[in-house]
Amino acid sequence: MRYFSYKVFTFIVTITLVSLIVFSVFQVLPGNPAQIILGLDADEQQIAQLEKELGLDQSLWEQYISWISGLLSGDLGQSLKYQQPVLDILLDRIPVTFSLAFVSIVLTALIGIPLGIFIARTDGKWVSTILSMLTQLGIAIPSFWFGFILILLFSVTFKLFPSYSYVPWSEDFFGALRSFFLPSLALALSNIAIMIRYLRNTILDQTKMDYVRTAKCKGLSERWIVYRHILRNAFIPILTIIGMIIADTLGGSIIIENVFSLPGLGSLLIQSISSRDFPLVQSMVLYIAVLVVFINFMVDLLYNVIDPRIRLKG
Amino acid sequence: MEMKNKRSIPFLIGISLVLLMFVIMITSLFYTPYDPNMMQTDARLIKPSLEHPFGTDNFGRDILSRIMQGSQTAFIIGLSSVSVGLFFGFMIGACAGYFGGWIDELCMRFIDALMAFPGILLAIMLITVFEPGMKNTIFALGIMSIPTFARIIRSSFMQTKQFDYVKASKAKGAGSTHVIFQHILPNVMSPILVAATLSFSGTILAEAGLSYLGLGVQPPDPSWGRMLKEAQPYIATAPWYVIITGTMITLMVLGFNLLGDGIRDQQDKKS
């Protein structure tokens, strides 16, 4: 119980700090935000009007409190460009980003986990050196450039996948899957590489443990030891890396959505920046960051469920 | 012997790539085959040839010359951002690790909060507010790399401060500054070096991403990321533009990653 309340406490503290960082960064905007939004030729009255609408005539502390209490009650403010509540715009875009992240994480797991186990079992041979170099390459390739290469290969040359078209799930399931496949793969590449490296190291570390030696002495087959013993113990580190990968995928989707013209949060973020729609940018940045903190919090709680020793130690 | 070879091959590849990039950067300071900004309207999107080894772009500019000049930006951004991140990361990590207690707790919550912004989101937010450009890109990417440094330095400090000679020095009445600079710092240099090398590549990747989004380095400063943005519409007609530019970013990042990993492996062997 103490472990749980400590985790909840740090979760709340971190989220509060995140919101303070986002809020204060947007306070630094040089000049009067109302002036910036309306442009140089706006008259005094218009500016005063907008200042009142944005609550800029209140003190900073009041502005922060009203922003946060708005967020908590689901009111994320009003977008300047779309003249719509920010929440409605986000709800429109979230399914796209989530689908992209979901397909990408599934691809990472499907490709990364078996390959990682395979590479760990071939340790010490030159195959593993080459595969290890390949994973380094996978980490080094910029995901958006890999996206270009995928478009060049699969859309331009072989015409197997659409390049810049988005099909919603509701319209056509397989069409949607096709439109998400290339961007998800581009996003997954570096995560697959990270997953492989991490899994390999974890399995190799576990192999040196006493319980593996005992299992070997008992005459168990290597395959049995890896799948029945090592992987169970490697599960906690794998969970950590999955938490990191989810956060990474959310961050990476910002660029990938722009490469493939997917109408998700990432492309909305960049459009809002160029149209100087600051309330929308501010809420989106906070939303994504809070989501990441929340995912880490859930991963922490899951540890606790999987391995009660953590709770006892804490 | 086998182990030694296995470890040193990636390291050698890494150091060769980094040296190659360094030579390209130094050469570009006083020689490029063409003026990187010279536009030739009659020589648009020419395929790689003897005259233009990497071809020309949509404005008829020589891609090789632009790649060479872009390497300067990559090195400047990499070095400066890592320095910014290292400076602040060191301050935060050293305080947290050395003093412990509530100072540690406070510093770590701040680092957790910074880490909540995935990928380049933190840099995007900062640049939205402070306007794109070279200086702000360095600043934003530097802040983005603070958590990595702070965490590594914190844990090194916590470990080192347990050692007897540090305790002895404190018992003799040495001040915090003396203990940190004379005893702890020499011991944490190697993990810092590894982290700095790996951050360098992370920064180059992030800069490419930011510049691709139009939020990084602005014209006339050359940037590989922005070159990719310019190359995207011609992906079908001039694929070499996209392929060459991306390959350069990949090689640079790969070089620094292999180098960092190699240094770490050497240290692990020593200890």
Q: What is the ipTM, given to two decimal places?
A: 0.88
| Nearest residue, CB atoms, A129 vs list B9, B119, B258 | B9
Binary contact (A148, B254; C-beta < 8 A): no
- Which pLDDT value is given to residue A138? 92
Compare CB distances from A281 to B9, B128, B250 and report the shortest one's residue. Answer: B128
Size of interface A-B (CB pairs under 8 A): 142
Is the pLDDT at A313 greater than 60, yes or no? no
H helix and E strand count, chain B? 11, 0
Low-confidence ranges of chain B (pLDDT < 50): 1-6
Chain A residue closest in CA terms to B243: A149
**pTM for the full predicted model:** 0.88
Give yes or no for a contact between A148 and B235, defined as CB atoms under 8 angstroms apart: yes
Ramachandran region, residue B46 (left: φ > 0; alpha: ψ -120 to 50; beta: rest): beta
State the average pLDDT over residues A234-239.
Answer: 76
Contact A281 B13 (CB under 8 A): no
Quick check: A142 and B121 CB within 8 A? no
The single-letter DSSP state of residue B35 is -
Range 65-94 of A in CB contact (< 8 A) with B? none
Query: Residue B48 is which amino acid?
Result: P
Q: What is the mean pLDDT of residues A218-241?
A: 76
Residue that wins the pLDDT comparison between A45 and B14: B14
Looking at residue A33, what is its pLDDT? Answer: 65
Cα(B23)–Cα(B64) distance, integer angstroms: 14
Kindly write down the DSSP assignment for every residue of A163-193, as one continuous string: SS----TTT-HHHHHHHHHHHHHHHHHHHHH
Average pLDDT, chain B: 87
Question: What's the pLDDT tens digit per position in B107-127?
Answer: 998 998 998 888 789 999 999
- Report the percentage of chain B scoring pLDDT > 70: 97
How long is chain A? 314
Assigned token pair, A138: 């996978």
Could you tell me the two tokens for A144?
Answer: 């958006």
Nearest residue in A to B110, CA atom: A17
Residue with tokens 């989707």, as numbered in its chain: A253
pLDDT at B72: 93
B168 interfaces chain A, CB cutoff of 8 Å: no
pLDDT per position as a tens digit, A75-115:
777 777 777 787 888 888 888 999 999 999 999 989 988 88
The angle subtended at Cα B210 by Cα A277 and Cα A281, nearest 5°, is 20
User: Of B89, B76, B82, which is closest to residue B133 (Cα–Cα)?
Assistant: B76
| Residue with tokens 């992370």, as numbered in its chain | B202
Q: What are the CA-CA distances from residue B266 to residues A147, A160, A273 (Å)?
A: 35, 46, 45
A204 inside 8 A of chain B by CB:
no
Give residue A314's pLDDT: 44
User: Does residue B74 sit at the A interface (CB-CB below 8 Å)?
Assistant: no
**Cβ(A292)–Cβ(A247) below 8 Å:** yes
The DSSP-derived string for A17-84 is HHHHHHHHHHH--SS-HHHHHH-TT--HHHHHHHHHHHTTTS-HHHHHHHHHHHHHTT---B-TTT-S
Do B124 and A152 lie within an 8 Å CB cutoff?
no
Q: Which of A248, A258, A274 sits opposite B118 (nearest CB)?
A: A248
Query: Which stretch, A220-229, A286-295, B161-170, has highest mean pLDDT?
Result: A286-295
Of B57, B120, B157, B62, nearest to A253 (Cα)? Answer: B120
Contact B249, A142 (CB under 8 A): yes
> Integer distance in angstroms from the first to the last C-alpha of chain B?
18
Select the residue from B129, B218, B226 to test the A interface by mutation, using most A Cβ atoms within 10 A.
Answer: B129
B101-115 and B146-160 helices, crossing angle to 10°: 150
* Measured distance CA(B93)–CA(A169) in Å, rounded: 46
pLDDT, position A164: 67
What is the percent of chain B with per-residue pLDDT over 90, rounded to a whole number?
A: 40
- Angle among Cα A163, A165, A138 to the nearest 5 degrees reads 40
